[in-house]
Structure 1
Amino acid sequence: MPTPAQQLIPVGLDRFGALVHAVERWDDPTPCSAWTVRDLVGHLVTEHRWAPHLLAGETMEQVGDRYDGDLLGDDPVRAWDDAARGSRAAWATADLTGTARFSFGEAPMTTYAEQMLIDLTVHGWDLARATGQPEDLDPAAVDLGLAYARPNADRMAALGIIDPPIPTNSPDPAVQLLALLGRRA
Protein backbone atom coordinates (compact mmCIF):
# COMPACT_ATOMS: atom_id res chain seq x y z
CA MET A 1 0.00 0.00 0.00
CA PRO A 2 1.56 3.31 -1.04
CA THR A 3 2.20 5.87 1.67
CA PRO A 4 0.53 9.30 1.43
CA ALA A 5 3.83 10.89 0.37
CA GLN A 6 4.40 8.17 -2.22
CA GLN A 7 0.92 8.80 -3.63
CA LEU A 8 1.60 12.54 -3.93
CA ILE A 9 5.01 12.29 -5.60
CA PRO A 10 3.50 11.91 -9.11
CA VAL A 11 1.46 15.08 -8.51
CA GLY A 12 4.63 16.84 -7.38
CA LEU A 13 6.49 15.62 -10.46
CA ASP A 14 3.72 16.96 -12.70
CA ARG A 15 3.56 20.32 -10.94
CA PHE A 16 7.34 20.79 -11.01
CA GLY A 17 7.48 19.62 -14.62
CA ALA A 18 4.90 22.20 -15.69
CA LEU A 19 7.05 24.91 -14.13
CA VAL A 20 10.18 23.59 -15.86
CA HIS A 21 8.42 23.62 -19.23
CA ALA A 22 7.59 27.31 -18.79
CA VAL A 23 11.13 28.48 -17.93
CA GLU A 24 12.40 31.15 -20.29
CA ARG A 25 15.62 32.29 -18.58
CA TRP A 26 17.81 29.60 -17.05
CA ASP A 27 20.41 31.93 -15.49
CA ASP A 28 17.99 33.92 -13.31
CA PRO A 29 18.52 33.78 -9.53
CA THR A 30 16.24 31.76 -7.25
CA PRO A 31 15.30 32.08 -3.58
CA CYS A 32 18.05 29.49 -2.99
CA SER A 33 20.81 32.09 -2.82
CA ALA A 34 23.57 29.96 -4.35
CA TRP A 35 21.45 28.62 -7.24
CA THR A 36 20.26 29.89 -10.57
CA VAL A 37 17.12 28.45 -12.17
CA ARG A 38 19.36 26.02 -14.04
CA ASP A 39 21.10 24.95 -10.81
CA LEU A 40 17.75 24.40 -9.10
CA VAL A 41 16.40 22.25 -11.92
CA GLY A 42 19.73 20.43 -12.04
CA HIS A 43 19.39 19.62 -8.34
CA LEU A 44 15.96 18.07 -8.90
CA VAL A 45 17.15 16.18 -11.97
CA THR A 46 19.98 14.68 -9.92
CA GLU A 47 17.62 13.75 -7.06
CA HIS A 48 15.21 12.03 -9.42
CA ARG A 49 17.97 10.24 -11.33
CA TRP A 50 19.06 8.74 -8.00
CA ALA A 51 15.55 7.71 -6.93
CA PRO A 52 15.21 4.52 -9.03
CA HIS A 53 18.53 3.25 -7.71
CA LEU A 54 17.81 3.95 -4.05
CA LEU A 55 14.29 2.56 -4.32
CA ALA A 56 15.71 -0.61 -5.87
CA GLY A 57 18.00 -1.05 -2.86
CA GLU A 58 21.25 0.07 -4.43
CA THR A 59 23.77 1.81 -2.22
CA MET A 60 25.38 5.17 -2.85
CA GLU A 61 28.62 3.31 -3.52
CA GLN A 62 26.95 1.15 -6.18
CA VAL A 63 25.56 4.21 -7.95
CA GLY A 64 28.91 5.94 -7.64
CA ASP A 65 29.57 9.21 -9.41
CA ARG A 66 27.44 8.61 -12.52
CA TYR A 67 25.19 11.58 -11.63
CA ASP A 68 27.94 14.04 -10.76
CA GLY A 69 28.31 17.10 -12.93
CA ASP A 70 25.93 18.77 -15.37
CA LEU A 71 23.01 16.49 -16.16
CA LEU A 72 21.04 19.16 -18.00
CA GLY A 73 23.24 19.56 -21.06
CA ASP A 74 21.78 21.62 -23.88
CA ASP A 75 18.17 20.65 -23.11
CA PRO A 76 17.22 21.13 -19.43
CA VAL A 77 13.55 20.44 -20.12
CA ARG A 78 14.29 17.09 -21.70
CA ALA A 79 16.70 16.24 -18.89
CA TRP A 80 13.92 16.94 -16.37
CA ASP A 81 11.38 14.91 -18.35
CA ASP A 82 13.74 11.93 -18.55
CA ALA A 83 14.58 12.05 -14.85
CA ALA A 84 10.93 12.49 -13.85
CA ARG A 85 9.82 9.57 -16.04
CA GLY A 86 12.30 7.19 -14.40
CA SER A 87 11.52 8.46 -10.92
CA ARG A 88 7.76 8.19 -11.46
CA ALA A 89 8.08 4.57 -12.57
CA ALA A 90 10.26 3.71 -9.58
CA TRP A 91 7.94 5.35 -7.03
CA ALA A 92 4.90 3.61 -8.56
CA THR A 93 6.23 0.19 -7.63
CA ALA A 94 8.50 0.99 -4.67
CA ASP A 95 8.27 -0.99 -1.46
CA LEU A 96 8.91 1.52 1.32
CA THR A 97 9.05 -0.94 4.20
CA GLY A 98 12.84 -0.93 4.51
CA THR A 99 15.63 1.52 5.14
CA ALA A 100 18.37 2.94 2.95
CA ARG A 101 21.67 4.68 3.46
CA PHE A 102 21.76 8.30 2.34
CA SER A 103 24.38 11.05 2.46
CA PHE A 104 22.92 12.12 5.83
CA GLY A 105 22.84 8.58 7.26
CA GLU A 106 20.39 5.68 7.37
CA ALA A 107 16.66 6.41 7.21
CA PRO A 108 13.39 4.63 6.57
CA MET A 109 12.25 4.64 2.95
CA THR A 110 9.06 6.36 4.11
CA THR A 111 11.22 9.27 5.28
CA TYR A 112 12.87 9.34 1.86
CA ALA A 113 9.43 9.66 0.25
CA GLU A 114 8.53 12.53 2.57
CA GLN A 115 11.80 14.31 1.81
CA MET A 116 11.37 13.89 -1.94
CA LEU A 117 7.83 15.27 -1.75
CA ILE A 118 9.01 18.26 0.27
CA ASP A 119 11.83 18.82 -2.24
CA LEU A 120 9.38 18.84 -5.15
CA THR A 121 6.95 21.09 -3.31
CA VAL A 122 9.29 23.70 -1.90
CA HIS A 123 11.64 23.78 -4.88
CA GLY A 124 8.54 24.11 -7.03
CA TRP A 125 7.78 27.28 -5.10
CA ASP A 126 11.40 28.40 -5.55
CA LEU A 127 11.17 27.83 -9.30
CA ALA A 128 7.80 29.57 -9.56
CA ARG A 129 9.08 32.57 -7.59
CA ALA A 130 12.25 32.77 -9.69
CA THR A 131 10.41 32.59 -13.01
CA GLY A 132 7.32 34.67 -12.21
CA GLN A 133 4.91 31.73 -12.35
CA PRO A 134 2.00 31.06 -9.98
CA GLU A 135 3.38 30.12 -6.55
CA ASP A 136 0.46 28.05 -5.29
CA LEU A 137 1.35 24.80 -3.55
CA ASP A 138 -0.57 21.52 -3.40
CA PRO A 139 -2.42 21.65 -0.04
CA ALA A 140 -2.04 17.91 0.57
CA ALA A 141 1.72 18.11 -0.05
CA VAL A 142 1.92 21.15 2.24
CA ASP A 143 0.14 19.27 5.04
CA LEU A 144 2.49 16.30 4.75
CA GLY A 145 5.45 18.65 4.44
CA LEU A 146 4.49 20.46 7.63
CA ALA A 147 4.11 17.19 9.52
CA TYR A 148 7.68 16.32 8.52
CA ALA A 149 9.25 19.79 8.73
CA ARG A 150 7.96 20.84 12.15
CA PRO A 151 10.03 18.28 14.07
CA ASN A 152 12.95 18.25 11.59
CA ALA A 153 13.56 21.81 10.36
CA ASP A 154 16.17 22.72 12.96
CA ARG A 155 18.08 19.48 12.33
CA MET A 156 17.96 20.05 8.55
CA ALA A 157 19.22 23.61 9.01
CA ALA A 158 22.05 22.40 11.26
CA LEU A 159 23.09 19.95 8.50
CA GLY A 160 23.11 22.82 6.00
CA ILE A 161 20.34 21.24 3.93
CA ILE A 162 18.10 24.32 4.32
CA ASP A 163 18.41 27.86 5.57
CA PRO A 164 17.38 28.36 9.21
CA PRO A 165 13.63 28.62 9.84
CA ILE A 166 12.14 32.10 9.64
CA PRO A 167 9.58 33.06 12.30
CA THR A 168 6.07 33.68 10.97
CA ASN A 169 2.67 34.38 12.48
CA SER A 170 0.85 33.47 9.28
CA PRO A 171 -2.05 31.05 9.63
CA ASP A 172 -1.46 29.91 6.02
CA PRO A 173 0.04 26.37 6.05
CA ALA A 174 2.01 27.04 2.85
CA VAL A 175 3.62 30.13 4.36
CA GLN A 176 4.39 28.14 7.52
CA LEU A 177 6.08 25.38 5.52
CA LEU A 178 8.11 27.83 3.49
CA ALA A 179 9.16 29.71 6.62
CA LEU A 180 10.17 26.49 8.38
CA LEU A 181 12.39 25.74 5.41
CA GLY A 182 14.03 29.19 5.43
CA ARG A 183 11.94 31.01 2.84
CA ARG A 184 9.98 34.26 2.92
CA ALA A 185 6.73 33.88 1.03
Structure 2
Amino acid sequence: MGEFEEQYWQRADASGAERIAARYRRRADAFGAKVDAVREGQWGNRSPCEKWTAADVVQHIVDMHGVMLTPLGRSLSAAPAVADDPAAAFRAARADVEAVLADPALYGQECDTPSGRLTALQHIDQVVSQDLPLHGWDLAKATGQDDTIDPADVEEALSGVGAIPEETMRMLRTPGAFGPGVEVFGPEVKVGADAPPQDRLLGFIGRDPRWRP
Protein backbone atom coordinates (compact mmCIF):
# COMPACT_ATOMS: atom_id res chain seq x y z
CA MET A 1 0.00 0.00 0.00
CA GLY A 2 1.40 3.39 -0.98
CA GLU A 3 1.75 6.33 1.38
CA PHE A 4 -1.31 8.11 -0.05
CA GLU A 5 -3.52 5.01 0.22
CA GLU A 6 -2.34 4.35 3.77
CA GLN A 7 -3.11 7.91 4.84
CA TYR A 8 -6.52 7.70 3.14
CA TRP A 9 -7.52 4.57 5.04
CA GLN A 10 -6.20 5.98 8.30
CA ARG A 11 -8.42 9.02 7.79
CA ALA A 12 -11.38 6.81 6.86
CA ASP A 13 -10.88 4.67 9.98
CA ALA A 14 -10.65 7.78 12.15
CA SER A 15 -13.80 9.19 10.56
CA GLY A 16 -15.69 5.97 11.28
CA ALA A 17 -14.50 5.99 14.89
CA GLU A 18 -15.62 9.60 15.28
CA ARG A 19 -19.10 8.72 13.99
CA ILE A 20 -19.37 5.79 16.41
CA ALA A 21 -18.18 7.95 19.31
CA ALA A 22 -20.64 10.69 18.39
CA ARG A 23 -23.47 8.16 18.19
CA TYR A 24 -22.54 6.79 21.61
CA ARG A 25 -22.40 10.31 23.09
CA ARG A 26 -25.82 11.20 21.69
CA ARG A 27 -27.36 8.05 23.13
CA ALA A 28 -25.58 8.44 26.45
CA ASP A 29 -26.80 12.04 26.67
CA ALA A 30 -30.39 10.87 26.19
CA PHE A 31 -30.07 8.06 28.74
CA GLY A 32 -28.31 10.32 31.23
CA ALA A 33 -31.10 12.90 30.92
CA LYS A 34 -33.64 10.21 31.81
CA VAL A 35 -31.57 9.15 34.82
CA ASP A 36 -31.36 12.77 35.98
CA ALA A 37 -35.13 13.19 35.63
CA VAL A 38 -36.05 10.27 37.90
CA ARG A 39 -37.72 11.66 41.00
CA GLU A 40 -36.95 10.68 44.55
CA GLY A 41 -38.95 7.60 45.45
CA GLN A 42 -39.18 6.28 41.87
CA TRP A 43 -36.04 4.13 41.85
CA GLY A 44 -37.95 1.14 43.23
CA ASN A 45 -40.62 1.36 40.50
CA ARG A 46 -41.15 -1.74 38.39
CA SER A 47 -39.83 -1.59 34.82
CA PRO A 48 -40.95 -3.38 31.64
CA CYS A 49 -38.14 -5.87 32.35
CA GLU A 50 -40.07 -8.18 34.65
CA LYS A 51 -37.33 -8.74 37.23
CA TRP A 52 -35.93 -5.19 37.25
CA THR A 53 -36.75 -1.96 39.02
CA ALA A 54 -35.81 1.44 37.60
CA ALA A 55 -32.57 1.27 39.59
CA ASP A 56 -31.85 -2.20 38.17
CA VAL A 57 -32.09 -0.79 34.64
CA VAL A 58 -29.33 1.70 35.43
CA GLN A 59 -27.31 -1.01 37.17
CA HIS A 60 -27.49 -3.14 34.02
CA ILE A 61 -26.26 -0.28 31.86
CA VAL A 62 -23.39 0.44 34.24
CA ASP A 63 -22.49 -3.26 34.34
CA MET A 64 -22.50 -3.46 30.53
CA HIS A 65 -20.07 -0.56 30.38
CA GLY A 66 -17.80 -2.68 32.54
CA VAL A 67 -18.21 -5.62 30.15
CA MET A 68 -16.92 -3.41 27.33
CA LEU A 69 -13.75 -2.72 29.33
CA THR A 70 -12.93 -6.24 30.49
CA PRO A 71 -11.37 -7.51 27.20
CA LEU A 72 -9.02 -4.52 27.32
CA GLY A 73 -7.77 -5.42 30.78
CA ARG A 74 -9.58 -2.42 32.22
CA SER A 75 -12.40 -2.06 34.72
CA LEU A 76 -14.82 0.59 35.86
CA SER A 77 -13.27 3.41 37.84
CA ALA A 78 -14.13 3.89 41.50
CA ALA A 79 -17.50 5.61 41.66
CA PRO A 80 -20.63 5.83 43.82
CA ALA A 81 -22.77 2.70 43.70
CA VAL A 82 -25.99 2.82 41.70
CA ALA A 83 -27.88 2.22 44.94
CA ASP A 84 -26.39 5.41 46.37
CA ASP A 85 -26.25 7.71 43.34
CA PRO A 86 -27.47 6.28 40.02
CA ALA A 87 -26.61 9.42 38.06
CA ALA A 88 -23.03 9.57 39.34
CA ALA A 89 -22.55 5.83 38.75
CA PHE A 90 -23.67 6.19 35.13
CA ARG A 91 -21.54 9.28 34.52
CA ALA A 92 -18.44 7.49 35.77
CA ALA A 93 -19.07 4.39 33.66
CA ARG A 94 -19.72 6.58 30.63
CA ALA A 95 -16.43 8.41 31.16
CA ASP A 96 -14.57 5.08 31.23
CA VAL A 97 -16.02 4.04 27.88
CA GLU A 98 -15.49 7.46 26.33
CA ALA A 99 -11.82 7.20 27.31
CA VAL A 100 -11.63 4.07 25.15
CA LEU A 101 -13.46 5.75 22.27
CA ALA A 102 -10.94 8.60 22.37
CA ASP A 103 -7.87 6.34 22.16
CA PRO A 104 -7.13 4.51 18.85
CA ALA A 105 -4.68 2.22 20.63
CA LEU A 106 -7.55 1.01 22.82
CA TYR A 107 -10.55 1.02 20.50
CA GLY A 108 -8.59 -0.77 17.78
CA GLN A 109 -7.86 -3.80 19.98
CA GLU A 110 -9.72 -6.96 19.00
CA CYS A 111 -11.64 -9.14 21.41
CA ASP A 112 -13.77 -12.28 21.29
CA THR A 113 -17.51 -11.63 21.69
CA PRO A 114 -20.71 -13.67 21.26
CA SER A 115 -20.92 -12.03 17.80
CA GLY A 116 -17.39 -13.10 16.86
CA ARG A 117 -14.10 -11.27 16.93
CA LEU A 118 -14.63 -7.52 17.03
CA THR A 119 -12.58 -4.44 17.77
CA ALA A 120 -13.40 -2.70 21.03
CA LEU A 121 -14.88 0.08 18.91
CA GLN A 122 -17.27 -2.32 17.16
CA HIS A 123 -18.10 -4.06 20.42
CA ILE A 124 -19.09 -0.79 22.10
CA ASP A 125 -21.11 0.29 19.06
CA GLN A 126 -22.96 -3.00 18.71
CA VAL A 127 -23.66 -3.68 22.37
CA VAL A 128 -23.72 -0.95 25.00
CA SER A 129 -24.37 1.90 22.57
CA GLN A 130 -27.40 0.07 21.18
CA ASP A 131 -28.52 -0.85 24.69
CA LEU A 132 -28.84 2.78 25.73
CA PRO A 133 -31.95 3.72 23.69
CA LEU A 134 -33.74 0.46 24.49
CA HIS A 135 -33.09 0.59 28.21
CA GLY A 136 -33.80 4.31 28.11
CA TRP A 137 -37.30 3.26 27.07
CA ASP A 138 -37.47 0.88 30.04
CA LEU A 139 -36.42 3.63 32.43
CA ALA A 140 -38.82 6.14 30.90
CA LYS A 141 -41.76 3.73 31.17
CA ALA A 142 -40.89 2.87 34.76
CA THR A 143 -40.74 6.51 35.84
CA GLY A 144 -43.42 8.20 33.75
CA GLN A 145 -41.14 10.01 31.29
CA ASP A 146 -41.38 10.51 27.53
CA ASP A 147 -40.66 7.05 26.13
CA THR A 148 -39.99 8.10 22.52
CA ILE A 149 -36.85 6.51 21.07
CA ASP A 150 -34.92 8.53 18.50
CA PRO A 151 -36.31 7.42 15.09
CA ALA A 152 -32.76 7.02 13.76
CA ASP A 153 -32.01 4.54 16.54
CA VAL A 154 -35.27 2.70 15.89
CA GLU A 155 -34.50 2.40 12.19
CA GLU A 156 -30.95 1.18 12.82
CA ALA A 157 -32.06 -1.35 15.43
CA LEU A 158 -34.88 -2.69 13.26
CA SER A 159 -32.45 -3.17 10.40
CA GLY A 160 -29.97 -4.91 12.69
CA VAL A 161 -32.35 -7.33 14.38
CA GLY A 162 -33.99 -8.13 11.06
CA ALA A 163 -30.66 -9.40 9.75
CA ILE A 164 -30.03 -11.77 12.68
CA PRO A 165 -30.14 -15.44 11.56
CA GLU A 166 -32.98 -17.49 13.03
CA GLU A 167 -30.64 -19.83 14.92
CA THR A 168 -28.83 -16.90 16.52
CA MET A 169 -32.15 -15.29 17.41
CA ARG A 170 -33.22 -18.46 19.22
CA MET A 171 -30.06 -18.23 21.33
CA LEU A 172 -30.68 -14.54 22.00
CA ARG A 173 -34.13 -15.43 23.31
CA THR A 174 -32.80 -18.28 25.50
CA PRO A 175 -32.04 -17.18 29.08
CA GLY A 176 -28.49 -18.08 30.06
CA ALA A 177 -27.28 -18.85 26.52
CA PHE A 178 -24.57 -16.20 26.80
CA GLY A 179 -23.83 -16.64 30.49
CA PRO A 180 -25.56 -17.10 33.85
CA GLY A 181 -28.38 -14.64 34.30
CA VAL A 182 -27.96 -13.15 30.83
CA GLU A 183 -31.20 -12.70 28.89
CA VAL A 184 -30.80 -10.68 25.71
CA PHE A 185 -34.29 -10.77 24.17
CA GLY A 186 -37.56 -12.02 25.58
CA PRO A 187 -40.24 -13.89 23.62
CA GLU A 188 -41.56 -11.76 20.78
CA VAL A 189 -44.64 -9.68 21.60
CA LYS A 190 -46.91 -9.58 18.56
CA VAL A 191 -47.98 -6.16 17.33
CA GLY A 192 -49.97 -5.23 14.27
CA ALA A 193 -48.26 -5.12 10.87
CA ASP A 194 -49.24 -1.45 10.66
CA ALA A 195 -47.82 -0.63 14.11
CA PRO A 196 -45.33 2.25 14.35
CA PRO A 197 -41.66 1.27 13.87
CA GLN A 198 -40.88 1.80 17.56
CA ASP A 199 -43.67 -0.59 18.59
CA ARG A 200 -42.49 -3.17 16.05
CA LEU A 201 -38.95 -2.96 17.39
CA LEU A 202 -40.05 -3.25 21.01
CA GLY A 203 -42.31 -6.20 20.25
CA PHE A 204 -39.55 -7.97 18.36
CA ILE A 205 -37.09 -7.75 21.26
CA GLY A 206 -39.71 -8.92 23.75
CA ARG A 207 -41.13 -5.69 25.12
CA ASP A 208 -44.84 -4.90 25.23
CA PRO A 209 -45.20 -1.38 23.77
CA ARG A 210 -48.46 -1.01 25.71
CA TRP A 211 -46.81 -1.83 29.06
CA ARG A 212 -47.88 0.30 32.01
CA PRO A 213 -46.58 0.28 35.61
Aligned equivalent of 1:148: 160
Shifted more, 91-100 versus 166-175: the winner is 91-100
- Alpha-carbon separation, structure 1, partners of 2:194 and 2:96: 37
Correspondences of 1:78-97 after superposition (within 5 Å): 78-94=88-104
RMSD over equivalenced CA pairs, Å: 2.7
Aligned equivalent of 2:138: 126
Measured after TM superposition, the shift of residue 96 of structure 1 is 5.8
Aligned equivalent of 1:10: 25
- Alpha-carbon separation, structure 2, partners of 1:165 and 1:93: 38
CA contact (8 A) 2:189 2:208 kept: yes
Of residues 5, 23, 30, the one that matches 2:47 is 30
Deviations 1:110-165 (A, max 9, x none): 25412223210110000000000001111111121112112334442133312022
Measured after TM superposition, the shift of residue 87 of structure 1 is 1.8
Larger RCO, structure (CA 8 Å, separation 6 or more): 1
- Alpha-carbon separation, structure 2, partners of 1:37 and 1:101: 31
Measured after TM superposition, the shift of residue 76 of structure 1 is 1.5
Measured after TM superposition, the shift of residue 173 of structure 1 is 1.8
Superposition TM-score, scaled by structure 2 size: 0.71
CA contact (8 A) 2:154 2:201 kept: yes
- Where do 5+ consecutive residues of structure 1 fail to align? none
Aligned equivalent of 1:183: 207
| Corresponding residue pairs, total | 175
Query: Secondary structure of 1:27's partner?
Result: coil
- Alpha-carbon separation, structure 2, partners of 1:99 and 1:22: 36
- Where do 5+ consecutive residues of structure 2 fail to align? 1-14, 178-182
CA contact (8 A) 1:31 1:183 kept: yes
Identity within the alignment, %? 27
Query: Secondary structure of 2:190's partner?
Result: coil
Matched, 1:157 2:157: no
Aligned equivalent of 2:87: 77
CA contact (8 A) 2:100 2:107 kept: no
Deviations 1:48-77 (A, max 9, x none): 2343x25xx52xxx458x79xx94241111
Structure 1 pair 162–114 and aligned structure 2 pair: CA distance change class (3 A): same
Query: Secondary structure of 2:116's partner?
Result: strand
- Alpha-carbon separation, structure 2, partners of 1:142 and 1:121: 9
Structure 1 pair 7–48 and aligned structure 2 pair: CA distance change class (3 A): same
- Alpha-carbon separation, structure 1, partners of 2:133 and 2:83: 24
- Alpha-carbon separation, structure 1, partners of 2:137 and 2:115: 27
Shifted more, 154-163 versus 72-81: the winner is 154-163
CA contact (8 A) 2:101 2:107 kept: no
Structure 1 pair 111–176 and aligned structure 2 pair: CA distance change class (3 A): farther
